[in-house]
Amino acid sequence: MSEPGRDTRLILSDVKVRELAALFGTPLYVLDEGHFRTRIRRYREAFRQAWPECEVTFASKANSTLAVLAIAYEEGCLIDAASEGELRAAIAAGVPTHRCHLHGNNKSFAELEFAFEVGVGQIVVDHFVEIEQIFELQQTYHRCPDLVLRLAPGVDPVTHEKIATGQADTKFGFNIANGAADRAVGVMLGLNLPLVGFHCHIGSQLLDSEAHYAAAEVVAEFAIGQWRRDRFMARVLNLGGGLGVRYLDTDEPPAVEDHCRRLVDGVVEGLGGFNLQPKLVQEPGRALIAESGVTLYRIGAIKTVPIGDGKSRTYLAVDGGLSDNARPALYDAKYSVRGIPADAREEGGEVPVFDDLAPVLDRFTVAGKHCETDTLFADVLLPHDLQVGDYLQVLCTGAYNSSMASNYNRFPRPATVLILEDGTPELVQRRDTWDEMFAREILPQRENR
């Protein structure tokens, strides 16, 4: 787990990069099983030390590769699914449905019905129409999963606006400030629905714990308010995820032990001595899997272009881009990048040594191969003598890269390789085939065709 002053990210050796690229091609997602398991164990233990009655749920939106979900479940995590597709992925990975939660701000009736059919353990309720739909399904199935009410606590975290979700102006949950959350509790209790507690998630990639502390305090205060008003005793407070990771060498996310203690401090402050002992839940996704993954690319075109005032920029074009990492385009995400020499040059000659104690570095902009500007990593320092055919290793890509991948420009989505605990690489998600890419398309029938 990330901690100040210590880099805990997965970094493959140059030899390993060459080996994996030769075996599986590039672009390539690489995950390390042992690294991932260690992160989960540390997070769960840190939370348990801070609040014994606790639970860690893996937010599968971060990476819903079946192998990842299976490992998370084996390590004691529940699985949070934000769609029927993610729920089906968890089931396919062997996760019992009672260990799954269904999330989402606009679940369809069909998604809710599927959750009832398979017997999910919990549904996170997001709006009033959903309450009505759940009540209808309860009458049909004569049973209902546990329900938690998602709250908008009015806490605006310090992060990119595209991944901030806890402020009052948000599409997620029931707003506390305008009374919607109070009304929702009353409606659910009046319908005799199995409400067990409250949920909030304020945003992602937070590099301090102060917003989490504030949100935990608000949610705990809200829970006490419901007891005083309706004598409803919350048994669960789900405080979401959002702990940041070390994308850049200069990032300093809090240690998970400090984060868990701070989160619990917020709950204790909000309870104000009131005799309520709820189960506390966290939903980390990125914080568990991001640093356990890297992405490998191969360098193609290299171009130096003028940018004015006698200055220039050198572009390194790689064999991936927007379709395998949408985050830089979506919200200006930054990454640490390493350059690795290939085994041989097409032109022949010696392989340069890039891992000297003081390599000579130049500034490059790494671009993808899509029909967009498609800047992946702007102005990064890399070995000055990188050449066509060399590799780039991008750190901390275990979260959201694979789950956001697309076929834009008809590029196949990359394969995913899992490095097993004994060091053996195993393919857990193969690269798209051309037949698969076109399998769902139908040409209209015409007389002249």
DSSP letter string over 329-385? HHH-----EEEE--S--TT--PPPP--SSS--EEEEEEE-SSSS--EEEEEEEEETT
Distance CA 150, CA 164 (A): 15
371 is catalytic: yes
Strand 311-318 versus strand 293-308 pairing type: antiparallel
Residue 148 CB-half CA count within 13 A: 29
Chain centroid offset of residue 16 CA: 25
Distance CA 384, CA 379 (A): 13
The answer to whether residues 43 and 56 touch, using CB atoms and an 8 Å cutoff, is yes
Q: In a 3-state reduction of DSSP, which class is residue 141? A: helix
Distance CA 224, CA 275 (A): 9
Backbone angles phi, psi at 77, to 5 degrees: -80, 145
Of 77, 144, 260, 371, the active-site residue reads 371
CA Rg, the chain, in Å? 24
Q: Indicate the DSSP class of residue 164.
A: B
Backbone angles phi, psi at 410, to 5 degrees: 65, 35
The answer to whether residues 216 and 222 touch, using CB atoms and an 8 Å cutoff, is no
Q: In a 3-state reduction of DSSP, which class is residue 296? A: strand
Residues noted as catalytic? 371
